[in-house]
């Protein structure tokens, strides 16, 4: 058997990758900076950036249990934001080393 699934202590199968788009009043309210703080607290890696359409785009990697909590936070956002929708899809793991705020 050439591939092994190594179970993590949380019961998941290692690292997952999520592509997340958050819409609503999510720009100009500290969303990206707060997302970085939350990601670091939850051991989530990847990046966050503003999109031209007013949304925020996030690529997040981590163990499933942490990603679930991270997505739950995305539905709330920071105090000054007003999240209308969070779209989440699975993606290919890119092995990010940290979490960054991308600025154009």
82 is catalytic: no
CATH of domain 25-91: 3.30.70.100
Q: Which residues, other chains included, contact 53 with Cβ-Cβ below 8 Å and sequence gap of 6+?
A: none
32 is catalytic: yes
- pLDDT band at 7; cut points 50, 70, 90: very low
Give residue 13's pLDDT. Answer: 59
In the predicted structure, residue 1 carries a pLDDT above the cut 70: no
DSSP string for 13-27: -SEEEEEEEEEEE-S
From the candidates 5, 50, 85, 97, which is the catalytic residue? Answer: 50
Other CB atoms closer than 10 Å to residue 87's CB: what's the count? 11
User: 18: number of CA atoms within 13 Å, CB side?
Assistant: 25
CA distance 18 to 81: 21
Give residue 12's pLDDT. Answer: 47
Give residue 22's pLDDT. Answer: 98
From the candidates 5, 32, 98, 103, which is the catalytic residue? Answer: 32
Please give the residue that has the higher pLDDT: either 74 or 12: 74
Give residue 66's pLDDT. Answer: 96
Hey, where are the domains in the chain? 25-91
> Tens digit of pLDDT for each residue in 20-72?
999 999 999 999 999 999 999 999 999 999 999 999 999 999 999 999 999 99
In the predicted structure, residue 89 carries a pLDDT above the cut 50: yes
């Amino acid at each position: 058997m050439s591939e092994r699934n190594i179970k993590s202590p949380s019961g998941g199968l290692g690292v997952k990758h999520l592509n997340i788009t958050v819409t609503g009043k999510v720009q100009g309210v500290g969303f990206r900076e707060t997302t970085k703080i939350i990601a670091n607290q939850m051991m989530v890696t990847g990046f966050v950036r503003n999109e031209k359409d007013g949304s925020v785009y996030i690529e997040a990697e981590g163990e499933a249990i942490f990603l679930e909590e991270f997505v739950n936070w995305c539905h709330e956002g920071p105090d000054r934001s007003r999240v209308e929708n969070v779209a989440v899809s699975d993606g290919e793991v890119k092995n990010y080393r940290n979490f960054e705020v991308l600025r154009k």
